Every structure is written in structure tokens, then in C-alpha cells.
Amino acid sequence: MSMNIIRTIGLLVIPLIFVSCVAHQRMAEDRHTQPNILFLFSDDQQHDAIRALGNKHIITPNLDRLIENGYAFRQTYCMGSNSGAVCGPSRAMLMTGRTLYRALSNGSYSTLPDVPLWPEIFRRSGYRTFVTGKWHNGRAAFRRSFTDGGAIFFGGMHSYDTGGHHEPRVRDFSQSGEYGDPPRIVKTFSSELFADATIQFLRSRKQAEPFFAYVSFTAPHDPHHAPQEYVDLYKDIEIPLPGNFMPQHPFDNGELKIRDELLAPFPRTPEVVREHLLQYYAMITHLDAQIGRIIAVLDELELRENTIIIFSSDHGLAVGQHGLLGKQNLYEHSMRAPLIFSGPGIPRGEASDAFAYLLDIHPTMCELAKLPIPSTVDGHSLVPVMRGQKESVRDSVVLMYKGFQQAIRNKRYKLIRYQVNSVETMQLFDLQEDPLEINNLIDEPSLKKVKADLLELMRTRVNKINESRP
């Protein structure tokens, strides 16, 4: 492992500048003080692909610091998708704060409904709203949401044929909202490019205006080709196979040959999965270093004590688990995402297993900034959970994928139902005893009532979501 890189990462582990009790009291007394918001959003990052969340084989010092000095929601989910491009519907739910079909316009994630989006709300409340990186939800919603931006990537992923993350195609921010010119090619790795744009914004902004920065990284989405120096960090680390590694999925889930699943041969081999994991982890470590750079500038400009930092991802990824590579499934590894809050008014070093959806971030940010939550929002603010006023905001989560995969889980059990080519298959997992979802208990006689209760709950919840389609 390169000592120079280790030193570099060490330098980027920026210790949190704690807000004094006096400062907390001053901010609480001044109702007109609005916190800055820095929203850091990765792409395809597993919920536990952070060292502080239990993965001892990954290097993420800056995210570890956010967790150590912030609040983590360990059971956060993307509700699902009506498309193989799960990131599109996921981001639509994030922006609108609405459930799956209510977040889409005419079933499309590239056109959002005419409801208040959270950057739009902050913009109308006097914030400078900055964006960089991935935008996957149409130009009209983009225009009404942001006042500033840089290095905009309109699309789902960087192409394998045009340099991938190493040569991203991006556009400069247009004050007119028109983007007729072709994108420009930048020979800077995507995560570094988006961090550069964020840092430039932080340094150039007017000090009197509160800001909302939406930093939408495209890593660690494939192509899984990390900068070589970060790959080298893992040369002396033996990355184990996932505990639920399988050469192939045990049955047809309806999406075994979609794009993500074609990134490696069938059946999966330990060697190929380890190589994917190495590149995936290296991309996350490089992303972590860029987050460290951004936070360092916050500290340098003395913005930290009034800036709430949020880190999350649009969903997870299989990377060899259950014989799968992608996110077109309802297993925990693919539907869960990390969610971390850090900053003024946020408890430090705490975590919760309360169920959360990514669509809860919208109302949570509004409440943290003391802005009204729109009536169009379906999600729940997580602030009462962070403040210890509630243990949870829901007792179960329902998950959906393209109509032929449905799931429901409560605190202990999870039921998944597949309806593929007129064949119904069901799985029942005891997540308390089997968090990797290996042992299917669907035919266990002692769990007959559990199965029946979960099926009824799933039908009720899925019907409610389906009925909410505009």
C-alpha cells in the first residue's frame, strides 16, 4: 500500500469543528438563522460500503468522521422502480418527497410532476441553490430548481465507449436554462471534477446568502475503473467474497439478463466478483477523498458550524451477492442506501434502525431549515427520530420493482414475491437471524401465520401505492 496515498487520505480526514454550546444557544434563539445545506449523493453505493458502518475492508475515513460526529439511519430504502434505471425513479422520489408512482409524470422519471421540489423550495426561500454532477430527471425540473451550478452531467451513466469516469461529458451551468450545445469532454475523474465545481462555488459565493449545494456524484456506478493509485491501496487487502455470494441466482427473477447483469460472465466466479469489488471499493475511497476536500474548504471558510451535511446514495448494488451484479432486485444489498446527517442541531455519534425511505429526506431537510413542508409530500420528517421524540415514523417498508417483484419487511421478517412468466415464487427471510437473506423459510410450518400476515400487509400497501398513480 502506497504510504504517500495513505498520508494524502490522512490529510483529508478533517476533524469536525464542534459547535460550542454558546453557538447552539445563539442559533436556537435567532429564528432567522438559516443553516447552509451540503447534500452529498453517491450513485449505486451499498448501505454498508462505509468502514464505520461495519465494512472493515473498505477505506472511507471522511465518511467515517461524518458518522462518528453525526447521525446515521441504518435502515434506509429506495422504495423501488418502474425501470431498470433504478436511479431515475429513486431521484424522482428524492426530489418530490413522494412515493414511487406519485413521483413520476406519466410514468416517466425524466419528467417530474409540477410539485415543489426541495431545491426549488430552498431557492424560493432565499437560498443560492447549487448543483453539480448527475441529473437524471429532465430539464424543466432542473431549470426551476437551481440558481448556480457547474460540471452538469445530464444522463444516467458515463459511457464505456467514451472514457467512462476518466473523461466525463459535462455541461457548464446555463442561467437561461437552455442547453443546446454538445457537452464538453473533461480529462478529470468524475468525482474530482464535481468536487472541484463545488469548491469553486463555495469560494465564490456571496457570504450573506445561505446556500444549498446538491453534489450528485456518479461514482461508484459502473464503469468500475478507479484511479490507479486508489486501486493500489487495496493491493495488500484481501477482499473477501460476500457471505451470500452465489454463482447464479437460484431462479428467474425476471431481470437476470438486464444490462447490469451482463457486466460479467455466467456463472459468476470468485475471481471476477473480487475484481469488481476491488474497483468498486477503490472508487468509493476516491469519492471519500473528494468529500474530504469539500469539507476542508467548509472549515477553511468557517462555514462548518452553520452547515448541515447530508450523505446518501440512490440505492445499493449486488456486486456478486445472490449471483447478481446490479440493483434490479429487492434484496437488502440493492434497495438499502446509507443516510447520514451531520452538523448544527444533529446529535453526534448516534444511529437508528428506524425505517426510512429516501423520500423522507425532502421533509427532513425542510424541517431542519425551518421551512414549511409542502402538502404534496408523502414522506415523513426524520427530525423527531434524531431528537429522540419518536422511535420510528413507520413500522414496515414496502418495495416494488416493475410490478413483477414486490416485497414487504417489518423489524424481523421480509417477504419477497416474484410473478414471472405466470410463475409465482416467494421468499421469506428472518433478517434478525439471516441478514444476508440466504435461508428461504417460505415453507416453514411454524411461520405460516407470519407469511399470511406479511402477504396481507403487502397487498394493502402495494394497492395503496398503485391507487395513488396520477
Contacts of 404 (CB under 8 A, 6+ apart): 254, 418, 419, 420
Q: Of 394, 415, 437, which one is at a domain's C-terminal end?
A: 394
Residue 89 in grid coordinates: 425513479
The residue type at 172: D
Query: Contact, 210 vs 35, CB < 8 A?
Result: yes
Distance of alpha carbon 353 from alpha carbon 347, whole angstroms: 15
What radius of gyration do the chain's Cα atoms show? 21
Q: Which element (helix H / strand E) includes 414?
A: strand 413-420
Query: Contact, 95 vs 363, CB < 8 A?
Result: no
Query: Contact, 166 vs 143, CB < 8 A?
Result: no
- Cα torsion 190, 185, 149, 160: sign: negative
Instruction: Render 139-178 in DSSP notation, one character per residue.
Output: HHHHHHH-SEEEEEEESSS--GGGTGGGS-EEB---TTS-
In a domain, 452, yes or no: yes
> 432 and 387: one domain?
no
The parent domain of residue 40 ranges over: 3-394
Nearest to 61 by CA among 312, 292, 244, 337: 292
pLDDT at 206: 83
Query: Contact, 3 vs 56, CB < 8 A?
Result: no
Distance of alpha carbon 152 from alpha carbon 143, whole angstroms: 12
User: Which residue stretches of the chain have pLDDT < 50?
Assistant: 3, 6-8, 11, 14-32
In a domain, 399, yes or no: no
In a domain, 156, yes or no: yes
> 268 and 287: one domain?
yes
Residue 348 in grid coordinates: 453526534
> 85 and 227: one domain?
yes
Please, what is the angle between helix 190-204 and helix 270-300, to 10°?
10
Q: What is the CATH number of the domain that holds 315?
A: 3.40.720.10
pLDDT at 33: 78
Number of domains in the chain: 2
Query: Contact, 281 vs 57, CB < 8 A?
Result: yes
> 341 and 437: one domain?
no
> 319 and 427: one domain?
no
Contacts of 115 (CB under 8 A, 6+ apart): 96, 98, 374, 376
pLDDT at 470: 63
In a domain, 181, yes or no: yes
In a domain, 27, yes or no: yes
For 74, phi and psi rounded to 5 degrees? -90, -5
Query: Contact, 117 vs 138, CB < 8 A?
Result: no
Q: Of 350, 376, 394, which one is at a domain's C-terminal end?
A: 394
Q: How many CB atoms lie within 10 A of CB 93?
A: 30
> 369 and 464: one domain?
no
Q: Which element (helix H / strand E) includes 123?
A: helix 118-124
Q: Of 352, 375, 394, which one is at a domain's C-terminal end?
A: 394
> 376 and 439: one domain?
no
pLDDT at 32: 46
> 153 and 19: one domain?
yes
pLDDT at 2: 52
> 341 and 458: one domain?
no
Distance of alpha carbon 92 from alpha carbon 79, whole angstroms: 11
Which residue intervals of 301-430 are DSSP H helices? 332-335, 361-368, 383-386
Q: Which element (helix H / strand E) includes 11?
A: helix 3-12
The helix/strand count (H/E) of the chain reads as 13, 16
What burial letters (b/e) apply to 184-223, b meaning 16+ CB within 10 Å? eebebbbbbbbbbbbbebbeebeeeebbbbbbbbbbbbbb
Q: Which element (helix H / strand E) includes 337?
A: strand 336-337
> 388 and 423: one domain?
no
Distance of alpha carbon 370 from alpha carbon 366, whole angstroms: 6
